Structure 1
Amino acid sequence: MSYVRQQRFPRTRVSVRAARQFVGDTLAEWAVTERREDIRLCVSELAANAVLHGVPMGREFAVRLLWEGAVLWIEVRDSGPGHPLICHPAADAQAGRGLWLVSELADEFVVRDGRVGKTACVAFELSTGQVLR
């Protein structure tokens, strides 16, 4: 059995916090505590990337959680052009570490191109499996 939850967010900076809260609330409802802070950090980075670089003016981005067995997938989809790249900034750089952090914290990180836009997907393997109340 799998569990899915999705929500759309406007292209605003406060949506990054709202996306993180949405994911945190969903994890709490699903009784997922393992790797919670890593998951929330990755959602924040992917949502920030969508707001700053991916979502065209007047559009929204979507966050989707899919829990199947022992794997939790988080997807952040936007309708903008381009393909996010993982950077390796200099030690004194002020920015550019977001996707690198995501790739280090998640067990899998892929970007899927769509007919319109793209979806950044991260997977987290959870030892607890599905234990919904």
Structure 2
Amino acid sequence: MAAALRLGVGEVLVWGLDSWDRSHDLSLCVSELATNALLHGVPRGRGFLLRLRYDGELVRAEVHDSGPGTPRVPDEPCGPENEGGRGLLLVAALSDKWGVGERTPGKIVWCEFAVPWEGPGVRSGS
């Protein structure tokens, strides 16, 4: 599933961001948010919604689920024996901004990436 999401994000980056050097960071964050939704936020028999938006300056990824709870970065570092607990640490480290919004039922977990401009029609990574 994670590989399919990363490929899907790559397809969306035909917005002119295909050479953007943060596209892999965006793909990884989308994969982590979707995995968290499946593991922790989607009650049995329900799915989640992935929404990607680009407004010319910002790429925003949102994962909408119908489960309870508020995701947060763990207070304690994860030990090597733990299989999980690092997803939101990655999202927090790689994205410019992330958060959780309300949805009825459930929540929206999102992250944003600024897309800097170097001049008319020319984009570069950060």
Write the deviation string for residues 71-124 of structure 1: whole angstroms up to 9, x where unpaired: 110101101111111114234343211101101100000100212110011000
Q: Secondary structure at the match of 2:48?
A: strand
Higher-Rg member (1/2): 2
Deviation, structure 1 residue 30: 1.2
In structure 2, the residue matched to 1:106 is 95
1:47 and 2:34 matched: yes
2:60 matched to which residue of 1? 73
* Match in the other structure for 2:16: 31
The Cα of 1:128 is off from its aligned counterpart by: 4.1
Contact 1:71–1:123, Cα closer than 8 Å, also in 2: yes
TM-score when normalising by structure 1: 0.79
The CA distance in 2 between the partners of 1:122 and 1:66, in whole Å, is: 11
1:124 maps to 2:109: no
For the pair 1:62 / 2:53, whether they are aligned, the reply is no
Q: Give the counterpart of 2:85 among 76, 96, 118.
A: 96
Q: Output one character per residue of 1:27-82: Cα deviation in whole Å (capped at 9) or x when no partner.
A: 1x212132011000001100110010001111111111111121110101101111
> Are 2:53 and 2:59, in contact at CA under 8 Å, matched by a contact in 1?
yes
Equivalent pairs counted in the alignment come to 116
The unaligned stretches of length 5 or more in structure 2 are 122-126
TM-score (norm 2): 0.83
Q: Structure 1: where are the runs of 5+ without partners?
A: 1-13
Matches of 2:9 and 2:67 in 1, distance apart? 22
Kept after mapping to 2: 8 A contact 1:19/1:63:
no
